[in-house]
Amino acid sequence: MKITILGAGAMGCMMAGFLVKRHDVILVDVWKEHIEAINDKGLCIRFQGEETVVHPKATTDPDQAKGADLVIVFVKSIQTAGALEKNKAVLGGGTLVLSLQNGYGNDQDILKFAPKNNVIMGTTDRAASVLGPGLVNNSGGRYIHIGPLGEDMSGAGKIAAAFRECGLDTDVYDAKHVNEMIWDKLIINCANNALVALLDINTPQLLQEHLSDSFKMLLGESVKVSRACGLPFEEGVYVEKNIALLKSLSKEARTSMWQDVNKKRRTEIDRMNGAIVRLGREKGVPTPCSELVVHLIHAIENKYV
């Protein structure tokens, strides 16, 4: 398969490391130094301390990445619309577009550039971080869940087959379950991501007294909003799910929002707790805790020099 990855950051590069084994992969990014490093020396992927160098193509010029069967969008959710606008050239009439990004609203952004039947959404518990130009850490993970926005399952089926060939466990769900998949990850992200960034703690510390009460308050609001949006989620189930997740993480784990704040980058807060606040307003569900967290994260962003 001819695959263009839009956004050669942590996740884009980690996925390229797998997909380049069997497919023709090109990375597109605005970060020149990183693209040059990949073209000069290859892309180095560190996994559990061992390094492997792979050789996907890489470019800052979307015209060099035309004609893909599949475009995987791996910019931050707040960049999705802007990045697709600037890189429209990578999309052909029949190109499938996949997003495994976090946050709410990526599907609506992508639909401005691709027909519904070509758009595949998904989630993954795989994780990665950028260590420097041309160097990325693959933090592991197990699953990729994908599904189409439209009724046609064939595109998602092709993507799953292409991913499995490269050792990526990928399950396909129908359109009915895609929204549930996105909300499922959103609820957990809204419970943990901002708190870890605000308090500068490791993610499993959220299990401690006061902190667990705090994540439960955020989680409760997200579940109430999800229910108002027609999803069948139960607060108690999600509290248990989050506790199990927090217990399973390594002691050093930190959320992506902590990493963004630490690197003084704009966060995805408006696509996480911010989305809960907006949807809560629309549906008449109060979300004061989520709103406070959104203001606090923006206040931190405003302090970046």
Q: Which residues bind ligand NAD (CB under 6 A)?
A: 6-12, 28-31, 74-77, 79, 82-83, 86-87, 101-103, 124, 127-128, 130, 256, 268
User: Which single residue brings its beta carbon nearest to ligand NAD?
Assistant: 9
Cβ 186 to ligand NAD shortest distance, Å? 11
| Residue closer to ligand NAD (CB basis): 59 or 179 | 59
User: For residue 254, which amino acid is it?
Assistant: R
Nearer to ligand NAD, 12 or 148 (CB): 12
Q: Which pairs with CB-CB distance under 8 Å and at least 24 residues apart come from 114-119?
A: 116/149, 116/150, 117/148, 117/149, 117/150, 117/151, 117/152, 117/155, 118/94, 118/155, 119/148, 119/149, 119/150
Provide, rounded to whole angstroms, the least separation between the CB of residue 11 and ligand NAD: 3
Report whether 8 contacts 31 (CB < 8 A): yes
CB of 102 to ligand NAD, least distance (A): 3
> Which residues are 170's β-sheet partners?
144
Specify the length of the chain in residues.
305
Q: Which C-beta is closer to ligand NAD: that of 28 or that of 206?
A: 28
Q: Smallest distance from the beta carbon of 203 to ligand NAD, in angstroms?
A: 12
Instruction: Indicate the residue among 68 and 285 with the shorter CB distance to ligand NAD.
Output: 68
Residue found under tokens 């994780």: 127
Return the number of the residue (37 or 285) whose C-beta is nearest ligand NAD. 37
Residue that is written with structure tokens 């800052």 in the block: 60
Please give the radius of gyration of the chain, using alpha carbons only, rounded to the nearest integer. 19
Minimal distance in Å, beta carbon 243 to ligand NAD? 20
